[in-house]
Chains A and B, each alone.
Chain A
Amino acid sequence: MEVTKLTKKFEKEMKSGTASLVVLSVLAKTKEPMYGYLIAKQIEAESEDTPLVKQGTLYPVLRSMESSGLLESQVEPSTSGPPRRYYQITELGRKSLMEWIAIWNEIRDFVEASLEGVSHD
């Protein structure tokens, strides 16, 4: 495999691992339930340059997080366009987020420590 192909694969694995962490943290910070488009907007606002994930890939992630009990949702009609599904973090989601943040910090420190001293050339 070429380098770019390997990089693509690596990028995809990194993103799919962190997507649910990002979604949980966005929903933990807001009081009101949010629908998919708003969540995508929020993520876009928080990442300064181009957003890391395609917004469309958020929806299957939201759905699978709901089925594992991290989120709950309800559909509400909107004045224009199709009804919106509003997502809200559950108690299980909050508890999981706390643990996930701890794991994330551990991994980040470990990876940074092991990357130290790798030269670019």
Chain B
Amino acid sequence: MIESVDAYLTQLRKELAGCDPATIQDALADAEEHLRNALEQAYGHEKTEPEAAALISIIDKYGSPEEIATAYREIETLTQPALAERKPVRRKSPLNRFLSVFTDASAWGALLYLMFSMITGIVYFTWAITGLSLSLGLLVLVIGLPFTVLFLLSVRSIALVEGRIVEALLGVRMPRRPLFTNRDAGWWEQVKSLFSERCTWTAVIYMILQLPLGTLYFTIFTCLISASLAFMASPILEFIIDEPLIWLGEMAYHIPVWLMPLAVVGGFVLFLTAMHMAKLIARAHGALAKTLLLGTR
């Protein structure tokens, strides 16, 4: 016997245990939207019958937590994130696998994300540090608490948006709906949960970490890619523009003609290696984002 929407959601969460956290968050948001809308329809505007009585028929139509959990488990195996890696159908040779990264959409997505993460990192870092220090500083004043609440709410929203970016470019399943909040509780309870939930603070940590990480990613890949492009373009540099490949202070280094094919091939290999590295780093970053941005209670 389920007596309130919250009891239903708690039970649904239990039934979904072991599922992807992002799936759980979506399922809870869907159920809450439906049940509350249905309750509102049932009541009209005045509450004539107790919630529990109206809920029985509503849940009967919506489906029990067990049924809904089964449905989400099934559908989740069918819909994968846009760039999620699919298992290769047949085994490829190591050489083939090394070369095929060039046509691998997830590697390009990862590279794009890593290059842009410095920009998002600067924005997140500035926002988080400004928000944190202003919140702490203003806490002694009346506007301190409202300001802190607004800041933490903005962090929640940014965490959701960053999650969408991470899912699109890194292929890691992230929530598609905002974190479920208990609407029956008063506003004070909601404010308290904002402070007490782990994910609010881990999201702040993520925003701060994004700057050093983004800078590191940007530096690594700018160096690797520009070096590989320079090697690939070495014949053009040497013969057409008549520019040495390497300048070190006053010293210019030319490549001998016989080494040139090797430099071009080497540049290409370096580029592909960079793409493989991007995939590896992106996987690690995706795992980090999943740990820090998801609400696990």
Measured CB to CB, the residues of A under 8 A from B are: 35-37, 40-41, 44, 51, 54-57, 59-61, 63-64, 67, 78, 80-85
Q: Do A44 and B37 have beta carbons less than 8 Å apart?
A: no
Q: How far is the CB of B119 from chain A (nearest CB, A)?
A: 26
Residues 52-95 of B, flagged 1 when their CB comes within 8 A of A and 0 if not, give 00000000011100011001101110110000000000000000
- Also in contact, A37 and B68, with CB within 8 A (given A55-B62, A67-B79, A80-B40): no
Query: Which B residues touch A51, using CB under 8 A?
Result: 61
**B13 contacts chain A at the CB level, 8 A cutoff:** no
Q: How far is the CB of A13 from chain B (nearest CB, A)?
A: 12
- Also in contact, A59 and B34, with CB within 8 A (given A80-B40, A82-B29): yes
Query: Which A residues touch B71, using CB under 8 A?
Result: 54, 56-57, 60
Q: Do A54 and B75 have beta carbons less than 8 Å apart?
A: no
Which residue in chain B gives the minimum CB-CB distance to A16? Answer: B74
Of the candidates A41, A54, A61, A82, which one forms a contact with B183 in the assembled complex, judged by CB atoms under 8 Å apart? A82
Of the candidates B41, B67, B75, B183, which one forms a contact with A37 in the assembled complex, judged by CB atoms under 8 Å apart? B41
Q: Do B61 and A37 have beta carbons less than 8 Å apart?
A: no
Pick the most buried of A51, A55, A80: most chain B CB atoms within 10 A of its CB.
A55
- A64–B71 Cα distance when bound, in Å, is 12
Q: Do B61 and A54 have beta carbons less than 8 Å apart?
A: yes
Which residue in chain A gives the minimum CB-CB distance to B178? Answer: A83
Q: Do B63 and A57 have beta carbons less than 8 Å apart?
A: yes
Sort chain B's interface into a size bin.
20 to 34
Q: Do A36 and B30 have beta carbons less than 8 Å apart?
A: yes
Q: How far is the CB of A70 from chain B (nearest CB, A)?
A: 13
Q: Do A57 and B67 have beta carbons less than 8 Å apart?
A: yes
Q: How far is the CB of A8 from chain B (nearest CB, A)?
A: 12
Q: Do B68 and A57 have beta carbons less than 8 Å apart?
A: yes
- B window 2-35: CB within 8 A of A: 26-27, 29-34
- B window 77-123: CB within 8 A of A: 78-79
Q: How far is the CB of B66 from chain A (nearest CB, A)?
A: 11
Measured CB to CB, the residues of B under 8 A from A are: 26-27, 29-34, 36-38, 40-41, 61-63, 67-68, 71-72, 74-76, 78-79, 176, 183
Q: Do A59 and B40 have beta carbons less than 8 Å apart?
A: no
Query: Which B residues touch A37, using CB under 8 A?
Result: 33-34, 37-38, 41
Q: Do A81 and B33 have beta carbons less than 8 Å apart?
A: yes
Query: Which B residues touch A81, using CB under 8 A?
Result: 33, 36-37, 40, 183
Of the candidates A40, A44, A67, which one forms a contact with B34 in the assembled complex, judged by CB atoms under 8 Å apart? A40
- Also in contact, A82 and B33, with CB within 8 A (given A40-B61, A54-B68): yes
Q: Do A82 and B68 have beta carbons less than 8 Å apart?
A: no
- 9 smallest CB-CB distances across A and B, nearest first, come from A54-B63, A60-B75, A56-B63, A81-B36, A59-B30, A37-B37, A56-B68, A57-B71, A56-B62
Of the candidates A36, A44, A55, A78, which one forms a contact with B63 in the assembled complex, judged by CB atoms under 8 Å apart? A55
Query: Which B residues touch A85, using CB under 8 A?
Result: 33
Q: Do A64 and B61 have beta carbons less than 8 Å apart?
A: no
Pick the most buried of A37, A67, A84: most chain B CB atoms within 10 A of its CB.
A37
Pick the most buried of B31, B32, B33: most chain A CB atoms within 10 A of its CB.
B33
- A91–B71 Cα distance when bound, in Å, is 28
Query: Which A residues touch B62, using CB under 8 A?
Result: 40, 54-56
Query: Which A residues touch B67, using CB under 8 A?
Result: 54, 56-57
